[in-house]
Structure 1
Amino acid sequence: MLRRSTRKRKEQEETAGVSPSQSHTSSDTVWERSLSRGRSSRGADAAGDAPHSRSPIRREAWKTVADHDIANPHPPRFTPKRRPGPQPPLTYGPQTPGDIFALFFDADVLKLLCANTNKNAKNNLGMGKKFVWTNITPQELTKYLGMLLFMSVCKHPKMEDFWRKKIIFKVPFLATVMSRDRFRAITSNLHMSDPEEDAVNDTKKGTKDYDPMQKARPLIDIIKNRCMSIYHPKQHISVDERMVATKARIKMKRYMKAKPTKWGLLFYVLADVNGYTVDYRLYTGKNHGASGKGRSFDVVADLVNKDYLGSGYIIYCDSFYTSPLLFRHLSQQGFGACGTYRQSRVGVPTTQENALDSKSKRGSIRWIRDGDLLFVKWMDAREVSMCTTVHPVHTEETVLRWQKTDDGCLQRVPIPRPTAVGEYNRYMGGGDTSDQMLGTKSVHRKTKRWPMTVFQHLLDIAVTNSFIVHNELRMMQQQKPMTRQAFQEELCAKLFGVPLAGPPTPSTQGHFPVSTTEKSQQASRGRKQCTICQRSTPWMCVDCDVGLCIQLNRNCFRDYHSY
């Protein structure tokens, strides 16, 4: 039976014009491809590749810098949709920190937050929660934002510490802006979405129509649009992850062992090289509208929007995103790409012929070109694998490294470095720079309400982007950039509506208490609210024009003028 089937197969091959040796070679190649797919399936799936994107094993040997690269790659022509940098009307004249921040948290944002916060407070009171509430106004919300920024500059372990009085570490100014109980009430009731729409969304749990970001989506979308409209990125941009710590018990919370913040909300961020957050996405789990090409592909394809950016941008990303499938897609869209890659990625060279090993000399370079893709391996302290569509193999670039001489001494010697590695180190840091700047003077506080964590992060993004835009404008005007602390202090004063220099001099000379009522009026009429204790008082300072108590057990007039 076996001989008969073999004879029949040979007859079919001769009829088709295929020799038996060719048939065996073809079948062996298919068998090798199937083996390669089986070996790489777990790694590729973990990295986010789609099963149908698998390609055969590459047989080409690795080349050295002595081999000539016949391709001459050039970066794509840079044609952005708008002039990179701050956009009008910011470029029409000098801008203060408050002017730039007001473009992110404008009147529409303040009205939205006030309306939803008042609705949420009403619902909480109806459920029996005990607190005193009066409807919040945009002016009061502006001062609340200023207090959050003030607390990020003057750090204290607990929020209540800012209202302590009988201690040398007291901070008396915040008590003149808002009482502790009022600040607590606003913090616990702050809401970004309509509670009625939240209730409708809760009825959709378990279905594909359920939106896990409903409670934060309005502000997420608004701030994202503000980030994209106020500033246009320069040619080199990067895609990276960002973790925002949270104590909330939600399914959206992720774990990333390689990040300093290991547990929290995961944001995918498109950042400029100066740290400006251009665009972002909050990861909520598996997406029903995924393309089937893997999460890493979908993230980059979604963030890198040609209709917004234009063409000619060079995208830098780490090994989680880099794949031949993604880089060819970006190249078709008119973008360049560069990034480190994982050996388990489908489509990368797998040949070991002339490859680097543990005995390779430091500075050794190997490369393989596959059309518009260039795969480069470089031996530094360890092996570095790069993939690029816009860089040549080597342009005589060197880097200094410590090495032992023959007599056992250490000295810095130049070793060759691939062009892609140098460019990657130069421009990939946009995401890390953004994370560092967001962590400086951050308003983030521990909370179990994840929407509050998102609100704090969006406020940090608005302040940090405002700071970057302000410094970009000052450099355009050939002025010295401000420090982050000076910027945030000036912004706080603007939100409070007070001069940065602070209240009057400590001396009470020239400041006299006078009655707020006339003799013909009743004692309860014409009273003012005390700036310190927020109580009703018939006394005020004639020079400061603010209500201040003068009681035997409470002398707010003296406290106000003592700092």
Structure 2
Amino acid sequence: MAKTLTLKDALAAILDSSDEDERRVSEPDGFSSDEDEDYDHRRDPVEDGEDSQLPGPSVTQAASPVPATRSPPAPTPQSFSPARPAKRFRTPQHQPAPPPTQQPSSPTRPAKRSRNAQHQPAPPPTQQPSSPTRPAKRSRNAQHQPAPPPTQQPAPLSWKTEKDPDIAPPVSRFQPARTPGPQLSSTSTYTPLDLFKLFFPVQIIQTLCQNTNKQAAKQMAQGKKYKWLDVNIGEFYKYIGLLLYMAMVKLDSIADYWRQNHFFSLPLPVQIMPRDRYRALSWNLHLSDPEEDVQNDKKKGTADHDKLFRLKPLMNTIKNACKSFYHPHRDVAVDERMVASKANTGMTQYMKAKPIKWGFKLFVLADSRNGYTVDFSVYTGKSDIPSGHGLSYDVVMFLVQPGYLGTGYHIYMDNFYSSPKLFRALHEQKFAACGTYRENRKDCPRTTNNALTKKSERGSIRWIRDGPLIYVKWMDTREVSVCSTLHTAHSGNTVQRRVKQQDGSWTKTSIPCPTPVLAYNEHMGGVDHSDQLIQYYSAQHKTMRWYRHLFYHFLDIATTNSYILHKELCLAQQTTPMTHRAFMEELTAELCGKPLHTAPVPVPAGHIPVPIAVHAADSSTKATTGRSRCEHCQSQGQRKDTPWKCRECGVVLCMQLDRNCFAAWHDS
């Protein structure tokens, strides 16, 4: 009698057939899945979320959802071992399923699909650890993303030679904010004192007098014992005149200028002011208000402390005057300047490559044409305008102001300042730049392809262009590196150099020279020219206060710029300017209130007529006593007697109304 299949048995047969189909597709040879079949016969359909009240489908209907690609021909029934324990347990429906954990897959067996996948939404795919020999799978959404374009490898950077052509970059047109040159009337006449008072006007002299008087009162209150009278404007100008006089006439010590009863005594200083008065003024010279100095000194160690507070009243006046009364020409230079001092301050610098090794360092912007000091900044040990780009970058951007200068200027600098970042920033502000550079600066080319070597021939040129920047290397006696934003690499220029021949003789020869090097040598000397003019007649001398060193330097800037203004005005008026020494002499005389040219003092002559003999007591013999023969008359063949002779030479010479042998003898 055939056994009737119940609903439970029909479902179990369907599930067993499905599992067997999957094993035939996924199992490799030699792998047995009998372990899982025990659990399949003991499970209840409710555990899979199936409704037990629904009528059971037939075997043919239940097997139909299985895809044909995953269902091979039905296998023969296999025996199950009821004694084998279950290997896994299903989570009941009323309990939340734990998060799936990523199990390491077998090297040969793929992951098994869940049986109730058709009744539950598929979870997001999890990345399975790949087999060591299985290639990586392509992402599912790769077909929706366009393939990246093939990357083109840049060509290796290489130095070019003078034979390679170069195109000059576009340079901004020169548009100064004012007409270059003195900002004074070209038809007016200015004396040296008038030009000097542009930098030391009466207003600042009055401020210096007030602060000096306050400083002297403070010193007297502290017990200083010397005579003091308040200084006024006229006396302060005379004091400056004495400083310039000492710059013209150099002596070993200040006391030597007031030395008396000596062969080398000088008459002028004692006529201007006494020695003790000059010393008292020098001791108490103060540029800022002493009361405000105390408040500033309390801020030491904080960001509010101003190291240059004692200089600000005069320094700001000098800087404003330098920019107000002169506008630079197209070519300007930026460089350092040293003011000699060994004062124990945090601002004193040591520069071994400078002629003045110890002192205060100033960053100066000067006109390359005549050395006029356009602007300057005193280095205090830290950047006054930090921008994160470095000190050299900040200094140049501070000195070069488009609002004051205009656009189109050519700025020359040395390798302390030059950098690609600075040159590009200046190029954006419509300034062109040129200068030597250091190879270890950021963004500078470091390639060695076709670079210069120690064995390169003298005059060899290498260059690389990077947009508006061009890097040029030139072999002279050593390698020279120059960067520029306004020149081409080479334009056919040559320079003369002395070359030693094989026989030991020296001859001149022409070698190629890059255009940036020629321009740098021509225009970089603006600050050096200014330093040279200052050193000719510098007012610097020994002092015990650090700010007085800079006061004397501000005085040097004022006198030098005044002389340059004088030359530029004479050039505009087509007249002959005075020499530098003549200008300083006239300025010193005007400050001291003395005429430059004085009338000669009459000196008693040594050749004067005197009587030959003492006059006789008897008046009757007075006309004939001591008469002798005239030497001049005797030389003319005549005999004349006279009572006169020359006191200096003792020659007897007659003096008559119609005959003056005394004058004729000495003239001959």
| Alignment partner of 2:361 out of 252, 262, 266 | 266
Measure the CA separation in 2 of the matches of 1:104 and 1:9: 83
2:484 is matched by which residue type in structure 1? T
Measure the CA separation in 1 of the matches of 2:135 and 2:499: 63
Conserved 8 A contact 1:368-1:374: yes
C-alpha change, 1:13 and 1:463, in structure 2 (3 Å) is farther
Greater per-residue helix proportion: 1
Name the counterpart of 1:335. Answer: 431
Name the counterpart of 1:445. Answer: 541
Measure the CA separation in 1 of the matches of 2:229 and 2:586: 29
Indicate the SS of the match to 2:474.
Answer: strand
2:324 is matched by which residue type in structure 1? S
Name the counterpart of 1:377. Answer: 473
Indicate the SS of the match to 1:322.
Answer: coil
Tell me, yes or no, if structure 1 residue 140 matches structure 2 residue 235: yes
Name the counterpart of 2:292. Answer: 197
1:380 is matched by which residue type in structure 2? D
Superposition deviation, residue 477 in structure 1: 1.8
Superposition deviation, residue 128 in structure 1: 0.9
Q: How does 1:112-123 map to 2 (within 5 A)?
A: 112-123=207-218
Identical-pair percentage: 49
Measure the CA separation in 2 of the matches of 1:287 and 1:492: 38
C-alpha change, 1:422 and 1:146, in structure 2 (3 Å) is same
Tell me, yes or no, if structure 1 residue 95 matches structure 2 residue 180: no
Conserved 8 A contact 1:247-1:447: no
Conserved 8 A contact 1:246-1:448: no
| Alignment partner of 2:372 out of 268, 273, 276 | 276
Indicate the SS of the match to 2:189.
Answer: coil
Higher relative contact order, chain-length normalized (CA < 8 Å, sep 6+):
1
Conserved 8 A contact 1:80-1:311: yes
Measure the CA separation in 2 of the matches of 1:411 and 1:232: 44
Q: How does 1:41-440 map to 2 (within 5 A)?
A: 59-69=156-166, 71-89=167-185, 91-273=186-368, 274-287=370-383, 289-405=385-501, 407-440=503-536
Measure the CA separation in 2 of the matches of 1:306 and 1:436: 28
Superposition deviation, residue 61 in structure 1: 0.2
Measure the CA separation in 2 of the matches of 1:302 and 1:180: 43
Conserved 8 A contact 1:242-1:266: yes
Name the counterpart of 1:472. Answer: 568
Name the counterpart of 1:497. Answer: 593
Indicate the SS of the match to 1:338.
Answer: strand
Measure the CA separation in 2 of the matches of 1:7 and 1:153: 94
Superposition deviation, residue 287 in structure 1: 3.1
Conserved 8 A contact 2:187-2:573: no
Superposition deviation, residue 192 in structure 1: 0.6
Superposition deviation, residue 307 in structure 1: 0.4
Name the counterpart of 1:538. Answer: none
Conserved 8 A contact 2:168-2:486: no
Superposition deviation, residue 225 in structure 1: 0.2
2:193 is matched by which residue type in structure 1? G
Indicate the SS of the match to 1:174.
Answer: helix
Indicate the SS of the match to 1:210.
Answer: coil
Q: Which has the larger radius of gyration?
A: 2
Indicate the SS of the match to 2:376.
Answer: strand
C-alpha change, 1:482 and 1:176, in structure 2 (3 Å) is same
Superposition deviation, residue 73 in structure 1: 2.5
1:68 is matched by which residue type in structure 2? P
Measure the CA separation in 1 of the matches of 2:523 and 2:493: 16
Please list the CA deviations of residues 72-93 of structure 1 after superposition, one character each: whole Å capped at 9, or x if unmatched. Answer: 324420000110000124x231
C-alpha change, 1:359 and 1:17, in structure 2 (3 Å) is farther
Measure the CA separation in 2 of the matches of 1:493 and 1:101: 13
Superposition deviation, residue 447 in structure 1: 1.7
TM score, norm. by length of structure 2: 0.68
Superposition deviation, residue 353 in structure 1: 0.4
Please list the CA deviations of residues 73-131 of structure 1 after superposition, one character each: whole Å capped at 9, or x if unmatched. Answer: 24420000110000124x23121111111111111111011011011111111111111
Measure the CA separation in 1 of the matches of 2:498 and 2:342: 44
1:320 is matched by which residue type in structure 2? F
C-alpha change, 1:133 and 1:59, in structure 2 (3 Å) is farther
Superposition deviation, residue 157 in structure 1: 1.1
Name the counterpart of 1:535. Answer: none
| Alignment partner of 1:458 out of 550, 554, 562 | 554
C-alpha change, 1:10 and 1:487, in structure 2 (3 Å) is farther
Please list the CA deviations of residues 124-159 of structure 1 after superposition, one character each: whole Å capped at 9, or x if unmatched. Answer: 111111111100000000100000000000000111
Aligned-residue Cα RMSD (Å) equals: 2.6
Indicate the SS of the match to 1:60.
Answer: coil
Indicate the SS of the match to 1:361.
Answer: coil
Deviates more, 1:323-332 or 1:407-416: 407-416
C-alpha change, 1:61 and 1:186, in structure 2 (3 Å) is same
Please list the CA deviations of residues 228-266 of structure 1 after superposition, one character each: whole Å capped at 9, or x if unmatched. Answer: 001100000000000001131111101111101111001
Indicate the SS of the match to 1:103.
Answer: coil
Conserved 8 A contact 1:247-1:448: no
Conserved 8 A contact 2:130-2:136: no
2:329 is matched by which residue type in structure 1? K
Please list the CA deviations of residues 14-64 of structure 1 after superposition, one character each: whole Å capped at 9, or x if unmatched. Answer: 969899x98xx99xx9xxxxxxxxxxxxxxxxxxxxxxxxxxxx9410000
C-alpha change, 1:316 and 1:210, in structure 2 (3 Å) is same
Measure the CA separation in 2 of the matches of 1:296 and 1:369: 23
Name the counterpart of 2:22. Answer: none
Conserved 8 A contact 2:472-2:482: yes
Indicate the SS of the match to 1:287.
Answer: coil
Superposition deviation, residue 498 in structure 1: 1.6
Measure the CA separation in 1 of the matches of 2:135 and 2:193: 82
Conserved 8 A contact 1:114-1:138: yes
C-alpha change, 1:11 and 1:323, in structure 2 (3 Å) is farther
Deviates more, 1:160-169 or 1:204-213: 160-169
Conserved 8 A contact 2:212-2:284: yes
Indicate the SS of the match to 1:474.
Answer: helix
C-alpha change, 1:494 and 1:64, in structure 2 (3 Å) is same
C-alpha change, 1:347 and 1:7, in structure 2 (3 Å) is farther
Superposition deviation, residue 406 in structure 1: 5.1
Indicate the SS of the match to 2:334.
Answer: strand
Measure the CA separation in 2 of the matches of 1:120 and 1:230: 32
TM score, norm. by length of structure 1: 0.80
C-alpha change, 1:325 and 1:11, in structure 2 (3 Å) is farther
Measure the CA separation in 1 of the matches of 2:458 and 2:274: 63
Indicate the SS of the match to 1:92.
Answer: coil
Measure the CA separation in 1 of the matches of 2:276 and 2:266: 16
Superposition deviation, residue 67 in structure 1: 0.9
1:112 is matched by which residue type in structure 2? T
C-alpha change, 1:333 and 1:490, in structure 2 (3 Å) is same
Measure the CA separation in 1 of the matches of 2:602 and 2:304: 60
Name the counterpart of 1:554. Answer: none
